[in-house]
Structures are given as structure tokens and as C-alpha cells.
Amino acid sequence: MIEVERLTKNYGPRAAVKGLTFQINQGEVVGFLG
């Protein structure tokens, strides 16, 4: 299992991601677009 809590990513002063929490269980395939 992979678990992420409160992930934040900024580009300069702009927040692209703020407070993202998720988990990926064994056997799951996940992709992010953006």
C-alpha cells in the first residue's frame, strides 16, 4: 500500500494541489492527469 497525506504542490504563488490525501492498495493502477 502507498499512502499520501496532505500533499501540496505550488508553482510560484499558485497552489496546484493543496491538502491531497489518498492511498493506493495492492493491485490498483492509478494515473494523474493535469
Instruction: State whether residue 30 is helix, strand or coil.
Output: coil
Q: Output the CA torsion sign for 11, 13, 17, 20.
A: positive
Pick from 23, 24, 5, 6: nearest CA to 15: 6
* Residue extents of the structural domains in the chain: 1-27
User: Which tens digits make up the pLDDT trace of 1-34?
Assistant: 999 999 999 999 999 999 999 999 999 999 988 7
List 20's β-bridge partners, or say none: 7
β strands within 1-34, DSSP E: 2-11, 14-24
